Amino acid sequence: MEANLCGQPATGEELHVCMGLNSCANQDVTGTATMAGTGQCATVQHVCHGEGACRGQGGCGYAGDDFEQFHPGEQACRYNGSCASPINESRVFSGGPMKGRSVWQQARRLFEARMYAAGKAFGPSPGQGVPDDRFPEYDRLTTPQAGASDKVTDLFRASADNPRAHEGVRFPDLRALARNSAGRHLPNALITFTIPQEASALLYFKPDGQPQSATCTVTSDDQGLATAVPLYAGHTGTGDQWVTVTATDPDTSVQCEFHVTVLAPQGQP
C-alpha cells in the first residue's frame, strides 16, 4: 500500500476509518479487498474530534467522552466522531474504560460484532492500523520556525459540532484545541469564541452572575484545550447558526467554527 493512498475514498463505496474495517469486497482504498475485513487502510481522512463528515467515521478516541472513545468507527452521524482517521498502530485510548489500550483493536472488535450480527463472512486484516511511519500529513511534526513555538498555527474542534438546545437552555460546552507549528498542543493560548452579528439574537454567552455577551476569550489549559463560557440558545431561527473560534494573537489568523442549532421551545413543533 502506498502511503499517499491512505485516506483516499473507495470509488462509490462506503467510508471507513482504517484497514480491516471494510464491510464488503473491493471496498478498500485500492479496491482489491477479497472480502469484508481484509481491506487496506482507511477510505476517509479527518483531523480530530468532531471532524467526521459522515456516520461511521469516528477515529481514534483522543478527545471526547467515555462513550465516544469506546466506539471508534461507529459514530451515529457527522461531526460527532471521536478524533482522527486513519488509526495508527500505536494509538491508544486516552481515557474511559479502554484507557491505554489499542484503538484499532477495539474498532476491529466492533466491526467483527457487526459482521456476526449481520451473518456476513469476513477475513483477516492485513495489519492492526497504519504503520507509525506513515502518519497522515496533518499529523506530521514539522520543524518549528524560530520564535513560533508559542504561536497557535492550528485550531480544531475538540467537542462535537452542531450541538442542539431549546430556547433558553445551555448548550454543551464548546471546546477548541490549539496546536503550534511543531504540532504540539499549546497551553496558555488566548482563544476567542465569537457569535456573528446576524446570530446575536439566537445565541449568547453568559458566565454565571454576569451579563450575556456575543464573545468570550479564554486561555487554553495545559493540554491545549480552550473551553468557552456557557453558551445559551436565544430565539429559534431558521438556517445554520455558528460560533467562530479564533486565536487572538495579533500575528496569527487561525480559525475554526462550530455549527449550532436552536430548537423550538419544548412542546412546540
pLDDT digits (tens, 9 = 90+) for 161-171: 788 888 888 99
Checking if the pLDDT of 211 tops 70, the result is: yes
DSSP H/E element including 104: helix 103-118
Bigger pLDDT: 60 vs 262: 262
Domain ranges of the chain: 1-140, 154-263
Q: Mapped to the 3 state alphabet, what secondary structure does 34-88 carry?
A: CCCCCCCCCCCCECCCCCCCCCCCCCCCCCCCHHHHHCCCCCCCCCCCCCCECCE
Given the candidates 1.10.3720.10, 1.10.357.10, 2.60.40.10, 2.40.30.10, the CATH classification of the domain at 154-263 is 2.60.40.10
Q: What is the mean pLDDT of the chain?
A: 75
For residue 126, is the peptide bond before it cis, meaning its omega torsion is within 30 degrees of 0? no
CA distances to 60, 132, 245 from 68, in Å: 10, 23, 23
Q: What is the pLDDT of residues 221-235, one digit of tens each?
A: 888 889 999 999 887
* Angle subtended at Cα 93 by Cα 87 and Cα 94, rounded to the nearest 5 degrees: 125
In angstroms, rounded to a whole number, what is the distance separating the alpha carbons of residues 144 and 100? Answer: 29
- Quick one: what percent of the chain has pLDDT higher than 90? 12
